[in-house]
Amino acid sequence: MTILVTGAAGFIGNHVALRLLEDGHRVVGFDNLSPYYDVALKRARLERLTGFADYAHVEGDLCDVPALRACFSDHGPDRVVHLAAQPGVRFSIEQPQPYIQSNLVGFANLLECCRHGTIRHLMFASTSSVYGANTAMPYSEHHACDHPVSLYAATKKANEAMAHSYAHLYGIATTGLRFFTVYGEWGRPDMAFFKFTDAIINGRPIEVHNNGRMSRDFTYVADIVDGIVALLDRPATIDSEWDAGRPDPASSGVAPYRIYNIGNSRPVDLMRYVEALEECIGRKATIEFKPMQPGDVADTWADCTDLAETIGYSPSTPVEEGLANFVAWYKSYYRVN
């Protein structure tokens, strides 16, 4: 099969594309190489893919409708894994426009291309951030999450609603995945695990918010990829037991549509995470405690029961092992002794 992976130069997208190629699939990567963070890192990720004969790359923007349409018509994908987006909670507060363009306009353009193509399954990235002001733990897909506390989260919640409408109107089997704090090799430099590592190795202090009173459902990237790949051949279907009088947000009785959490289901205190990172690096961190940042939440915890029932999803990487793998990659990539 031919699988279109948007965001193929991005963190998760690159790992997914590589796994699919290793599994023998034909992969088309689509990415605009946004300068939001180091483009050299993105190009280095792409070098992992270009040696495969079954990989084709398209450098383009989701907001460029002719380029996106040409990608679909030239390559004829039958499945789409949509991982391209403008990421980051904090940046969305400072610069909202890129989120509106990429995450809303760009996603609408992608849905239109899927509508006019022959897509058997559309999978797209959502986020744990959609739970927003909800404090019922663990977070469940069956909970309402109508109170996002950042624009980034709001755009992803909008993506879920947009995807449902297209699944209903045009019969596109659609699955949304709410990622929980993904970390690992080839990660994003704007994420805490990367920034902490870079600061500790280079002797700079790290900023820990909410005075360290935070926990996260840290999920290793290889476990995330396992879930995505396993779901590719399990397109969403209409839920015959869905009750319109008590609608379940995770599924639909009028559309082949499904939402899943994809996390580790084992929250780790942020300070324990820092300690594990110190152990991997072999150096203590200098910590500057800060108040909670706007748009952030204190805790996340994924209920992945539904994903486990559907595909047997069972993340197996402890945070100590995942961080050790990341630190080893960081030292190799940046040539740190």
165 within some domain: yes
284 within some domain: no
The predicted pLDDT at position 184 comes to 98
User: Where residue 69 falls among pLDDT bands split at 50, 70, 90?
Assistant: very high
Q: What would the pLDDT profile of 226-283 be if each residue is shown by its tens digit?
A: 999 999 999 999 999 999 999 999 999 999 999 999 999 999 999 999 999 999 999 9
Cα–Cα dist 317/59, whole Å? 33
167 within some domain: yes
Using a pLDDT cut of 70, give the percent of the chain over it.
Answer: 100
Q: List residues with catalytic annotation.
A: 152
Cα–Cα dist 65/78, whole Å? 19
Q: Average the pLDDT over 183-211 and give the result.
A: 96
CATH number, domain with residue 16: 3.40.50.720
Mean pLDDT over each residue of the chain, to the nearest integer = 97
158 within some domain: yes
The predicted pLDDT at position 295 comes to 86
Cα–Cα dist 319/273, whole Å? 8
177 within some domain: yes
Contact 120, 78 (CB under 8 A): yes
Cα–Cα dist 87/179, whole Å? 12
75 within some domain: yes
How many domains in the chain? Answer: 1
The predicted pLDDT at position 84 comes to 98
310: exposed, middle or buried (C-beta count within 10 Å: 0-12, 13-18, 19+)?
middle
269 within some domain: no
Count Cβ neighbours within 10 Å for each residue of 260-285 and write b for 16 or more, e otherwise.
bbbbbbebbebeebbebbeebbeeeb
Residue 241: give the domain boundaries.
2-181+221-263+302-316
115 within some domain: yes
The predicted pLDDT at position 215 comes to 96
**CA distances, 76 to each of 14, 27, 71 (Å):** 20, 11, 8
The predicted pLDDT at position 173 comes to 98
Cα–Cα dist 170/194, whole Å? 41
> Measuring CA to CA, which residue among 153, 139, 179, 201 is closest to residue 329?
201
User: Where residue 166 falls among pLDDT bands split at 50, 70, 90?
Assistant: very high
Asked if pLDDT for residue 332 goes beyond 90, the answer is yes
- Pairing relation of β-strands 219-220 and 182-183? parallel
The predicted pLDDT at position 90 comes to 86
Asked if pLDDT for residue 337 goes beyond 90, the answer is no
Using a pLDDT cut of 90, give the percent of the chain over it.
Answer: 97
Residue 29 has which token pair?
């990567």
Q: Average the pLDDT over 48-62 and give the result.
A: 97
